[in-house]
Amino acid sequence: MSDIITVVAPVNIAVIKYWGKRDAKLNIPLNDSVSGTLDAKVMCAKTSVCVRPDFEEDRLWLNGENVSIYKENFQKCLNKIRILAKEQKSRDEKFLTWKVHICSENNFPTAAGLASSAAGFACLVTALSKLYGVQTDVSALARLGSGSACRSVYGGFVRWHAGSNPDGSDSIAKQVVDSSYWPEMKVLILVVADNKKSTSSTKGMIITAKTSELIDHRCRVTVPSRVEKMCEAIKRKDFPTFAELTMKDSNEFHAVCLSSYPPCVYLTDVSNKIIEIIHRYNEMRGSPKVAYTFDAGPNACLYLLEEEVPKVISLIKYFFPSSSETFIKGLPCPDLKEEFTNELQI
């Protein structure tokens, strides 16, 4: 007797960045953030979870490799779901004593700093909550694993509300517009380096919160008004405003990282060259046609409308003739896709 559930979840790319935690244990952020979810067909994580009475211990495989499930963020998700299942009596007591095996893989390089943990945890908690039959806000569960994961639970554009409750119950993601709303919007990812980033996001946020003199201004002044303007721009399909807000937020986020001590340096000379090229291109075109944004790594994510894609690819190939790793990722994506490989049988 066994139950297996498989879920696929896409990567999301923030246009207003999450950086800094009000509560590090619960991953409650200092500020709201907004992201676009990529098409799950091109960049996604796929996770299968299975419980069986004869499993001797909880186990986890990531991209084919057996890794420890006792890492804090996995334990937080698993424990919370088992507690909810017990409280909600969604499964009988025997079921809750059985061990779980989790198998997750990405269809893109994990170490490339391309938000792999976001897709991974969105998948994991969705699959586990189905398996254990719990009724809860899945984005809040995903947040426990990795903050940005809560936004990968939905397609389209998504806002993560920081919330104000001490237990994080209102720190959840909500869809701004669904995946069919702005189909012309595309994302192009320029892989500048696919090696592991120097300072992880989790660590970088701690350094910033402790030492940056700019983070408070960002969270109190710039981001709150920018988030509202961003959601409005998305609803109006106002690309120039969307682009300007996206680039300003990426720049401010990296300025805050640099103002940390020691500084968190994520951009490289190539990243900075991309920024310069995009600004020159937008100036030449008379209004913003492309927006760059960089997470905690050197890879550029370019948001642009479909009609711009061929021109921008030529532009990148002109400046980086040897770049073979430029690839296009489509937006928006369908909402979280669930594939049930087995009917639940207890």
Q: Judged by CB under 6 A, which of 48, 106, 146, 152 binds ligand DP6?
A: 146
When asked if residue 157 is in the footprint of ligand DP6 (CB under 6 A), the reply is no
Minimum separation from the CB atom of position 47 to ligand DP6 (A): 17
Residue 162 as a binder of ligand DP6 (CB under 6 A): the answer is no
Q: Least separation, in Å, of the C-beta of 158 and ligand DP6?
A: 11
- Window 254-293: contact mask with ligand DP6 (x via CB under 6 A): ----------------------------------------
Q: Is 346 exposed, middle or buried (0-12, 13-18, 19+ CB in 10 A)?
A: exposed
Nearer to ligand DP6, 18 or 74 (CB): 18
* CA 281/CA 259 separation, integer angstroms: 29
Q: Where are the beta strands (DSSP E) in 172-325?
A: 173-177, 185-190, 290-294, 300-305
Residues 52-91, interacting with ligand DP6 (CB under 6 A):
none
Beta-carbon contacts of 72 under 8 Å, excluding residues fewer than 6 positions away, are: none
For residue 262, cis peptide bond before it (omega within 30 degrees of 0): yes
Between residues 231 and 313, which has the closer beta carbon with respect to ligand DP6? 231
Using CB under 6 A as the binding rule, whether residue 243 contacts ligand DP6 is answered as no
- Burial call 148-180: b when 16+ CB within 10 Å, e when fewer: bbbbbbbbbbbbbbbbeeeebeebbbebbbebe
The residue sitting closest to ligand DP6, measured at its beta carbon, is 147
Q: What is the largest CA-CA distance in the chain?
A: 67
Choice from 10, 20, 147, 168 touching ligand DP6 (CB under 6 A): 147
| Mutual angle of helices 138-145 and 116-132, in 10-degree steps | 130
Output the smallest distance, CB 283 to ligand DP6, in A. Answer: 27
Closest separation in Å from C-beta 88 to ligand DP6: 26
The residues binding ligand DP6 (CB under 6 A) are 14, 17-19, 27, 33, 117, 146-148, 201-202, 295-296
